[in-house]
Structure 1
Amino acid sequence: MVETRNSRLKRKHDQDPTKALKRTAVELAPKLTKHEHLTSNDSNASEELKSIEIGLSEIHAKLLSKASKQKATFLTKYFRVEEYGEGDILIGVKVPDVRSLSNGLGFLPYSILKELIQSKYHEERQLAVINVVTKFKNTQDPVELTEIFKFYVEQMREGVNNWDLVDSSASQIVGAFLKDKSDIKRLWLYDKLAVSERIWDRRIAIVSTQCFIKNGKYDDTLKLAEIFLNDAEDLIHKATGWTLREMGKKSKSTLVKFLNQHAQRMPRVMLRYSLEKFSEEERRKYMIIGKK
């Protein structure tokens, strides 16, 4: 079975990650208590557990076949696993390969997705995120869209714990679902995510507004950017600056107004990211303001 994040932290991480992924069928066998939807009927439960076990075994084997120790070494440094990466383990699979595998598997059942998103292996969580995003994009059923959103924010969110997992799913699921739902947008963006002590929740909040920007709505981006002026984390500054830059591409006047009000208070990296599409002269002007 895929190991949870908690159990991962108790293990040593100096092993060869490609060897670490070679788990037996017994290790992969999920616990019945992890799947609320399983019936109490022993026969039905046994069949579903067997199906999950086979599915996970195949996924692990396919990922391992694409793994590269050299790539794993590079990605381990790239994702700074000893810092914000929280000891993440990468086996060295390229994103296009993970995406191709996800597409080939079709839409995975929630039972398997729940196991994958708890994995200590980055690529397994990445596959779960890609699969859910694809599932969300390919349905028009309001009931199913609500189900996917709830699954993401309530059961997947803890496993969405690095910047690439956030940036490849927040706008596509959270933003896309909340863009026309003012009644619950306030609850999720401001009352739950933006005020969370968890850095990835706050990043989900600001990145999700990129979906609103695409639809010509900037208010939430501006409000959250103002909130995050005082955030202590560099990764939030980068995400906020990047999102402001995207807003500026749609409405430069809106970004200029924000900069005129807040450039002096903006963290340097946030300011720099927001100015990337400005002329050199304009960038210099606001960077000088930011030094004061």
Structure 2
Amino acid sequence: MTLADEVVAQIASAADADVASQLARYFQVRPGGYGEGDVVVGVRLGELRRIARPYARRPFDPDDWLPLLRSAVHEHRLLALVAMATRSGVGDEIERTLITRTYLANTAHVNGWDLVDASAAPILGRYVRDHDRSVLDELARSESVWERRIAIVSTHALIRAGESADTFRIADALLDDPHDLIHKATGWMLREVGARVSQDALRAYLDDRAPRMPRTALRYAVEHLDADERRHYRALR
């Protein structure tokens, strides 16, 4: 039995129809929703992390994980990404590079906000801390909402390292984005800059950009500022 077969069997054993119904609504798999056509079997992230844990102790081999990453089942893809993210944090430079290349070659399957949020920073963000960051700009220009979300959420790893320039640059590239999922992610990352790097840097950014920022992005960005400042920046909008 292959690794993928073992994982699929464990996910099937843990699947719950009631949870599947809840997750289907949450991820909008309905017709016209952003997750339209996805298949959800009903396993929550915490349980997927538990299942993934022993497999993530093995060095990354794309042949093990690509059948899961390319699966029609949402939880298969999420577990594969969780394992890849874990290995990216513990493997050497060669393994980290292989994981990142595999990730970038398969972004079509990182097609849900939870899939992006579980993987972008620990895989791509961690990698670009020590490598060329232009891939973030390329993803920010993508027609895919998921690749654009990968671009901004990846900067969380840089924020954690005390950097904000890349977040501001990618936020600028996404300032006029039409999708609410991008507004939320951009506001989230800006809020993280204020929380982890510098509130003054966040204020300087908002002083200039708040008048044109989408309302949702601005609301997320100012959440950790005091009440007077929140009112000030919302009034600019």
**TM-score bracket, shorter-length normalisation:** over 0.9
Q: Please tell me whether residue 204 in structure 1 is matched to residue 154 in structure 2.
A: no
- Which of 253, 256, 261 is matched with 2:208 structurally? 261
C-alpha deviations, 1:180-235, integer Å up to 9, x for none? 22xx211x111x20111011111111111111111121111111111111111110
Q: Deviations over 1:41-60 (max 9, x none)?
A: xxxxxxxxxx53xx333222
Which whole-Å deviations, capped at 9, do the CAs of 1:126-153 have from their partners, x for residues lacking one? 11001111111111x2222211111111
Partner of 1:109: 61
1:275 and 2:222 correspond: yes
Distance 2:6 2:67 in 1: 14
**Is the partner of 1:264 in helix, strand or coil?**
helix
1:153 matched to which residue of 2? 104
Is 1:220–2:166 an aligned residue pair? yes
* Distance in 1 separating the partners of 2:54 and 2:174: 39
Instruction: Specify which of 84, 95, 101 is matched with residue 144 of structure 1.
Output: 95
Change (3 A) 1:56 1:212: closer
- What does residue 62 of structure 1 align with? 10
Partner Cα distance (2:69, 2:161) in 1 = 30
2:236 aligned with 1:286, yes or no?
no
Corresponding position: 1:132 with 2:84: yes
- The CA distance in 2 between the partners of 1:224 and 1:58, in whole Å, is 39
On the 8 A contact 2:141/2:173 being kept in 1, the answer is no
Residues 77-131 of structure 1: per-residue CA shift (max 9 Å, x gap): 0011121113211111121111111113343631131111111111000110011
Taking only the aligned residue pairs, the percentage that are identical comes to 40
The partner residue of 1:242 within 165, 175, 188 is 188
Distance across 2 between alignment mates of 1:237 and 1:175: 19
Larger Rg: 1
Partner amino acid for 2:47?
D
Identify the range of structure 1 (233-242 vs 88-97) with the bigger mean alpha-carbon deviation: 88-97
Q: 1:185 matched to which residue of 2? A: 133
Q: How far apart are residue 285 of structure 1 and its match?
A: 1.3
Separation in 2, partners of 1:143, 1:78: 37
Query: Partner residue of 2:75?
Result: 123
Gaps of 5+ in 1: 1-50
TM-score by length of 2: 0.94
- Are 1:172 and 2:118 matched, yes or no? no
SS at match of 1:230: coil
TM-score normalised per structure 1: 0.77
Aligned-pair CA distance for 1:65: 1.3
Give the whole-Å Cα distance in 2 for the aligned partners of 1:226 and 1:110.
34
Unaligned runs of 5+ residues in structure 2 are none
